[in-house]
Amino acid sequence: MAKSIDVSDLDIYYGDFKAVQNVNMTIQSRSVTALIGPSGCGKSTFLRSLNRMHEVIPGARVEGKIVIDGQDLYGPDVDPVDVRRQIGMVFQRPNPFPTMSIYDNVLAGSRLNAKRLSKAKGDEIVEKSLRGANLWTEVKDRLGKPGQGLSGGQQQRLCIARAIAVEPQVLLMDEPCSALDPISTAAVEDLIHELKTDYTIVIVTHNMQQAARVSQETGFFNLAAAGEPGELVEMNPTAKIFGNPDEKATEAYISGRFG
């Protein structure tokens, strides 16, 4: 159920401001693609354009093509709500719904869409998703408790469980570990390793060791200059990016000489 994504000539705008320009890349199915680059270079903006979350911000728009499974995401007859059902997202800060229990948070995708689920089916999805997110053993005795009572790392894994409960084709992760401690980060990284057998994963990260650890492909975004739009500088297998990158700028960035 995983799909690859083809991005061609993508420009992303906030109103009149061009934030990202001319991105071309292919995201492989059933693998992890990491996006790295300095702050403000448009990684997260690009990620959000992959499931049409970008346009939630007033004035934001996209030009170019993103094709998944032969369909253009920005085609005129495409409903962004359907896109987001296929392409799930995990955010930088854990954001479980405060009014819902752990159980309801996992089922939020169905509950909020008023899908009728039998008790048995719901239990099954909850257990499967929580096991998938490596959270089941920690919370199985308190599924009725509010999701916000969990620790930050557990909340983030709850959000991942919530995202995979709707069985998307693609999972986007926007710096999922930046608010977590090293132990929770390790748990989430293990999870990413397991998830890539079933999902296409795109992860934005500021942590280059993390990119090197979890991803097969890495894309490096950079700004030509302050005020200029961000660009995809280089996209290559992770081993090549961190070993012998094609571009000088990539090498300078990963060796810490700037940014």
If the CB atoms of residues 166 and 233 are measured against another protein, the closer one turns out to be 166
Smallest distance, another protein to C-beta of residue 119, A: 20
**In sequence order, what DSSP letters do the residues of 150-199 get, joined into one string?**
S-HHHHHHHHHHHHHHT--SEEEEESTTTTS-HHHHHHHHHHHHHHTTTS
Q: What does DSSP assign to residue 57?
A: S
Residue from 5, 66, 159, 214 in contact with another protein (CB under 8 A): 159
Nearest C-alpha neighbor of 172 from the set 77, 68, 79: 68
> Quick check: 115 binds another protein (CB under 8 A)?
no
* Cα–Cα dist 39/89, whole Å: 20
> Quick check: 66 binds another protein (CB under 8 A)?
no
> Quick check: 89 binds another protein (CB under 8 A)?
yes
> Quick check: 14 binds another protein (CB under 8 A)?
no
> Quick check: 152 binds another protein (CB under 8 A)?
no
Residue 113 CB partners (closer than 8 Å, separation 6+): none
Residue 54 CB partners (closer than 8 Å, separation 6+): 12, 45, 48, 60, 61, 62
Smallest distance, another protein to C-beta of residue 32, A: 19
> Quick check: 91 binds another protein (CB under 8 A)?
yes
Q: Which position has the token pair 């709500």?
A: 81
> Quick check: 112 binds another protein (CB under 8 A)?
yes
Smallest distance, another protein to C-beta of residue 200, A: 16
* Cα–Cα dist 177/187, whole Å: 10
Cβ burial of 133 (10 Å; 0-12, 13-18, 19+) is buried
If the CB atoms of residues 13 and 253 are measured against another protein, the closer one turns out to be 13
If the CB atoms of residues 140 and 248 are measured against another protein, the closer one turns out to be 140
**29 to 58, contacts with another protein by CB under 8 A?**
51, 53, 56, 58
> Quick check: 98 binds another protein (CB under 8 A)?
yes
Residue from 8, 72, 97, 246 in contact with another protein (CB under 8 A): 97
> Quick check: 88 binds another protein (CB under 8 A)?
yes
> Quick check: 77 binds another protein (CB under 8 A)?
no
Buried b (16+ CB within 10 A) or exposed e, 144-170: eebbbebeebbbbbbbbbbbbbbbbbb
Structure tokens at 20: 């990202």
Residue from 20, 73, 108, 133 in contact with another protein (CB under 8 A): 108
Smallest distance, another protein to C-beta of residue 105, A: 10
> Quick check: 162 binds another protein (CB under 8 A)?
yes
> Quick check: 69 binds another protein (CB under 8 A)?
no
User: Which residues of the shown chain bind another protein in the complex (CB under 8 A)?
Assistant: 51, 53, 56, 58, 81-86, 88-89, 91, 93, 95-99, 108-109, 111-114, 145-150, 159, 162-163, 166
